[in-house]
């Protein structure tokens, strides 16, 4: 390559325009009536209307496309939109047009060489999704415009400011010990008491999401999206527990593609392949997480249920939480199941609906029907006590996080001083296994897991909740060298986390608009039950705002903030029928939760709403009309 080929235009006096949050809100109002299908609404009420998240994401994308239609910005004069979808402060979008097709490669300069690099696809309408920004600084972002031959045509540097760290994410990393120069991928962490975030080799937060979520939090999906449990819409499930009923499939920019409404007690184990989403629920409304359901992601329909009692037998079917189903992974038509309470890893063949094999201490399945498919070993019995998570490292090798706890089921394994990460080779044809290695790590009671990153040949040992709660250290992550087994780096955290995964955002897909489509929400809650009795006496006493309030309508879901235990029932009284939503089984809670009721299934007509508390009812200010 000669000197002439290396030349490009350095944009030294480039300018940028930055849109504020108020600017984005104005754009929303400008285009909302153009996109909203008001005539299709089935439920009407004077209460506040809350748009669906998928609609808001489409609305923002539509506004960005209209900006590009006007050809106001070029590479030398770009438009910068911080936090473009309102839920991820450490993201930005850069808009501009070009006369020819180019792509943009960018680099967010990081401390100690921890740069974040992204790249868009070739286009003349550029929407460059920026991730990897730091909190509380003006980030330096290097931009290169690249032609079809791979040559840099223009280059410039801009700055993007991100404000302060959210309160629940402050001081998360207490200390980083070891070799600070040790390379590692960005690590996404799903917090038990903080919003999902990503940190780098220095322990600095490089991505985070500001959404209220449940303990299930955010779960990565093989299609590059994540499934997020929305804490702003809850139900009382069949187990009598409060849990979200609304789950969003979204990308890391915060765009919601599909929303699923589920009237199921969903556990934390999840797997996905193509259009099938595999979830864990209750088999009978009385036992926790002992049934695998398959949901068609294109329709929201539950197409299959596999009850684990039919596969595992009655031996351990004692108590409500007889399995502690803690993890699930899909591979080649099979599901890898981690059944913590019974010290078992199992492989389920989805076509036949039967187990291929089980891996457990020998005594667990001895003298049972499953002994025939239990993997055997010529060496010592596997040192596995209440495993939290098993994942495939490669075609034949498992990585298992063992909490090292005896638990209630006797597996011939006593409590150990440490938890451990096991590498186990599986020979499915021979029906055998070999425990290749065992590496001790900090003791945990739950939410332990391990990752292997092939690119770096390193392991992450992930202790989500430490057993020792007497210090500020609540959880820990260790980076372990894959060649010599030495711990290169230890992250000590001040808050608990549930699990973690490598952060590999699909930047090119974030640089493309979503388009407009109506089918974004799937599934429904049951309609409140018809009420045929006599309603309690009315009272003039008002219920305090600390107990009930913030009534609003999101499409066909009526939502309201309510302190569990403060309200006994909610009545919908119409001219011909009355319906009731019963909350009398809830115990008094410490804080308000947002509950949801499906109201489009009510018989068409107008309804007055009444709250029952302390045995009497009071009419709410506004009514509800169902078409």
How far does CA 129 lie from the centroid of its chain?
20
Contact 275, 291 (CB under 8 A): no
Torsion-angle region of 252 (φ positive above 0: left; ψ -120 to 50: alpha; else: beta): alpha
Domains of the chain, start order: 3-162 (2.60.40.3100), 167-510 (2.130.10.10), 524-626 (2.60.40)
User: What is the reported pLDDT for 194?
Assistant: 78
Give the separation between CA 334 and CA 304, rounded to whole angstroms: 15
**Where do the H-state alpha helices sit in 532-581?**
none
pTM: 0.91
| φ/ψ (deg, to 5) at 536 | -60, 170
Torsion sign, CA atoms 361, 366, 369, 375: positive
pLDDT in tens, 90-148: 999 999 999 999 999 999 999 999 999 999 999 999 999 999 999 999 999 999 999 99
34 burial via Cβ count (<10 Å: 0-12, 13-18, 19+): exposed
| φ/ψ (deg, to 5) at 436 | -75, -40
User: What is the reported pLDDT for 212?
Assistant: 72
Strands, DSSP E only, in 428-514?
Answer: 432-441, 444-453, 458-466, 475-481, 487-493, 497-502
pLDDT in tens, 501-538: 999 999 999 999 998 888 899 999 999 999 999 999 99
Residue 599 in tokens: 């109201």
User: What is the reported pLDDT for 191?
Assistant: 83
Contact 83, 89 (CB under 8 A): yes
User: What is the reported pLDDT for 122?
Assistant: 97
| φ/ψ (deg, to 5) at 28 | -55, -50
Cα separation of the two ends of the chain = 70
DSSP state of 537: P
546 burial via Cβ count (<10 Å: 0-12, 13-18, 19+): exposed
Identify the segments of the chain with pLDDT beneath 70.
1-8, 37-40, 214-215
Residue 402 in tokens: 């063992």
Residue 565 in tokens: 């235990």
């Amino acid at each position: 390559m000669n000197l002439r080929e290396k030349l490009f235009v350095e944009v030294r006096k480039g300018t940028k325009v930055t849109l504020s949050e108020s600017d984005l809100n104005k754009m929303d109002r400008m285009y909302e009536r153009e996109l909203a299908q008001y005539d299709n609404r089935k439920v009407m009420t004077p209460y506040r209307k809350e748009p669906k998240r998928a609609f808001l994401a489409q609305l923002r994308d539509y506004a960005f496309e209209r900006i590009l239609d006007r050809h106001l910005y070029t590479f030398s004069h770009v438009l910068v939109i911080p936090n473009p979808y309102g839920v991820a402060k450490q993201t930005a979008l850069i808009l501009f047009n070009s006369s020819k097709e180019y792509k943009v490669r960018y680099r967010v300069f990081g401390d100690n060489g921890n740069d974040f690099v992204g790249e868009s696809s070739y286009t003349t309408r550029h929407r460059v999704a920026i991730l990897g920004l730091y909190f509380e600084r003006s980030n330096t972002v290097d931009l290169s415009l690249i032609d079809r031959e791979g040559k840099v045509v223009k280059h410039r540097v801009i700055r993007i400011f991100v404000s302060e760290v959210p309160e629940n994410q402050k001081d998360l990393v207490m200390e980083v010990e070891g070799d600070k120069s040790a390379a590692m991928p960005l690590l996404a962490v799903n917090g038990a008491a903080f919003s999902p975030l990503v940190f780098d080799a220095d322990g600095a937060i490089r991505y985070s999401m500001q959404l209220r979520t449940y303990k299930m939090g955010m779960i990565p999906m093989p299609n590059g999206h994540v499934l997020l449990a929305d804490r702003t819409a809850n139900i009382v499930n069949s187990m009598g527990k409060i849990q979200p009923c609304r789950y969003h499939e979204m990308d890391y920019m915060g765009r919601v593609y599909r929303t699923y409404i589920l009237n199921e007690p969903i556990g934390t184990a999840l797997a996905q392949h193509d259009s099938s989403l595999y979830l864990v629920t209750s088999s009978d409304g009385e036992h926790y997480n002992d049934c695998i359901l398959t949901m068609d992601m294109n329709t929201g329909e539950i197409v299959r249920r596999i009850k684990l009692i039919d596969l595992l037998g009655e031996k351990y079917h004692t108590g409500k939480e007889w399995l502690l189903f803690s993890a699930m992974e899909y591979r080649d038509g099979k599901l890898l199941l981690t059944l913590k309470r019974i010290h078992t890893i199992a492989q389920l063949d989805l076509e036949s609906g039967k187990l291929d094999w089980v891996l457990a201490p020998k005594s667990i399945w001895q003298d049972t029907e499953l002994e025939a498919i239990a993997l055997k070993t010529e060496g010592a019995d596997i040192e596995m006590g209440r495993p939290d998570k098993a994942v495939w490292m490669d075609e034949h090798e498992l990585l298992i996080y063992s909490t090292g706890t005896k638990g209630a089921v006797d597996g011939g394994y006593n409590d150990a001083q440490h938890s451990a990460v096991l590498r186990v080779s599986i020979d499915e044809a021979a029906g055998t296994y070999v425990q290749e290695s065992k590496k001790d790590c900090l003791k945990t009671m739950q939410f332990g897991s391990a990752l292997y990153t092939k690119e770096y040949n390193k392991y992450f040992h992930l202790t989500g909740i430490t057993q020792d709660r007497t210090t500020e250290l609540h959880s820990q992550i260790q980076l372990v060298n894959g060649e010599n087994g030495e711990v290169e780096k230890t992250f000590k955290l001040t808050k608990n986390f549930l699990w973690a995964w490598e952060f590999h955002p699909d930047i090119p897909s974030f640089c493309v608009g979503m388009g407009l489509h109506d089918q974004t929400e799937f599934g429904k809650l049951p309609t409140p039950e018809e009420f045929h009795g006599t309603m309690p006496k009315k009272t003039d006493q008002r219920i305090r705002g600390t107990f009930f309030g913030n009534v609003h309508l999101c499409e066909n879901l009526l939502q309201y903030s309510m302190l569990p235990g403060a309200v006994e029932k909610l009545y919908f009284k119409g001219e011909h029928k009355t319906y009731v939503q019963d909350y009398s089984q809830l115990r008094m809670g410490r804080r308000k939760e947002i509950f949801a009721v499906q109201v489009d299934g009510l018989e068409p007509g107008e309804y007055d709403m009444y709250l029952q508390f302390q045995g009497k009812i009071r009419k709410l200010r506004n009514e509800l009309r169902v078409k």
